[in-house]
Amino acid sequence: MAINYTDIEKLAELARIQLNDATIAETTQSIADVLSLVDRLNAIDTKNVDPMAHPTDAIQCLRSDNVTEVNQREAFQVIAPCTKNGLYLVPKVID
């Protein structure tokens, strides 16, 4: 797919941004480079390549799920303007 100067002008107009001629030319070239790379990647035969979730088959080391903080809800709710049954009450904003 090719992109040209007028395509970038139209995109800028749709996005409601103002671009000068130099920026449009630079953006056109950058997008053309990206599209060229995508075309090269699409040309690669991947028929015999199995899909994988991660290229290095890394295993994520997770920490244990232990509570490390003390419950301070009562201390925080003392300074809240309005609470009920352990919940913060706020004004209704949607009818």
69 domain residue, yes or no? no
Q: Judge whether 53 lies within some domain.
A: no
| pLDDT value of residue 60 | 79
Q: What is the pLDDT of residue 61?
A: 84
CA nearest to 7, candidates 20, 22, 16, 25: 25
Into how many domains does the chain fold? 1
Give the integer Cα–Cα distance in Å for 4 and 46: 30
Give a yes or no: residue 89 inside a domain.
no
CA distances 30 to 21, 23, 27, Å, are 14, 10, 5
Q: Any residues with CB less than 8 A from the CB of 10 and at least 6 apart, and which?
A: none
Rounded to an integer, what distance in angstroms lies between the CA atom of residue 18 and that of residue 53?
40
CATH number at residue 21: 1.10.20
- Given this model, what pLDDT does residue 1 score? 67
Distance CA 83, CA 79 (A): 10
Rounded average pLDDT per 10-residue block, the chain, 95 residues: 88 94 92 93 90 78 90 94 94 87
> What is this structure's pTM?
0.49
Residue 54: its pLDDT value, please? 76
